[in-house]
């Protein structure tokens, strides 16, 4: 399978596939004309790489999972002592994701506290917020005075 075919089949780009090769995540053979040719397991491997990257793993993290990328990734990975190093990578990534979620939650709470009229969680889907609905009249005049020109 040529690079363009693999890209279409996996929903990625030839550039991403070349990057995966540069990082040692994917291999190809070359035709006499120099075109990359991928084997029959390449599509599964690329999907697994993309799944791991989308899940928050880094390219370096994915490199530690290379022996497992040619098969189907199970929905639940059972513990096995021989995979302890892989689990440590996953545990570090999970901790980093938890930290990122906490940071994003704090930022979201700050925005919601400053602009309570933006609280979309309490409105039915599709209903527009009334920007001045929860502000006293004096605050509305002050807010209008601080708007950028043309806003």
Q: How far apart are CA 17 and CA 66, in angstroms?
A: 15
Higher-confidence residue of 27 and 82: namely 27
3-122 to CATH, choices 1.10.3720.10, 3.30.230.70, 1.10.1660.10, 3.60.60.10: 1.10.1660.10
**pLDDT of res. 130:** 61
Q: Look-up: residue for tokens 């693999």?
A: 6
Structure tokens at 20: 């995966």
Structure tokens at 62: 């994915």
Pairing verdict, β 29-30 and 36-37: antiparallel
Instruction: Give residue-wise pLDDT tens across range 45-86.
Output: 999 999 999 988 899 989 988 888 888 877 767 777 777 877
Q: How far apart are CA 36 and CA 1, in angstroms?
A: 8
**pLDDT of res. 56:** 86
Instruction: Give residue-wise pLDDT tens across range 100-139.
Output: 999 999 999 999 899 988 866 665 556 665 655 555 555 5
Sorted by sequence, the CB contacts under 8 Å of residue 117 that are 6+ apart come out as: 129, 130, 131, 132, 133, 134, 135
Q: How far apart are CA 117 and CA 99, in angstroms?
A: 28
Q: How far apart are CA 151 and CA 149, in angstroms?
A: 6
Query: Model pTM?
Result: 0.64
């Amino acid at each position: 399978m040529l690079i363009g075919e693999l890209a279409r089949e996996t929903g990625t780009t030839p550039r991403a596939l070349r990057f995966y090769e540069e990082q040692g995540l994917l291999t190809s053979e070359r035709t006499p004309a120099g075109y990359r040719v991928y084997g029959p397991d390449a599509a599964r491997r690329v999907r697994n790489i993309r799944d791991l990257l989308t899940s928050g793993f880094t390219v370096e993290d994915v490199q530690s999972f290379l022996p497992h990328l040619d098969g189907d990734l199970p929905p639940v990975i059972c513990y096995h002592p021989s995979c302890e190093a892989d689990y440590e990578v996953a545990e570090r990534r999970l901790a980093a994701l938890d930290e990122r979620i906490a940071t994003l939650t704090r930022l979201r709470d700050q925005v919601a506290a400053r602009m309570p009229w933006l609280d979309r969680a309490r409105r039915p889907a599709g209903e527009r917020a009334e920007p001045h609905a929860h502000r006293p009249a004096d605050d509305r005049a002050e807010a209008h005075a601080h708007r950028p020109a043309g806003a």
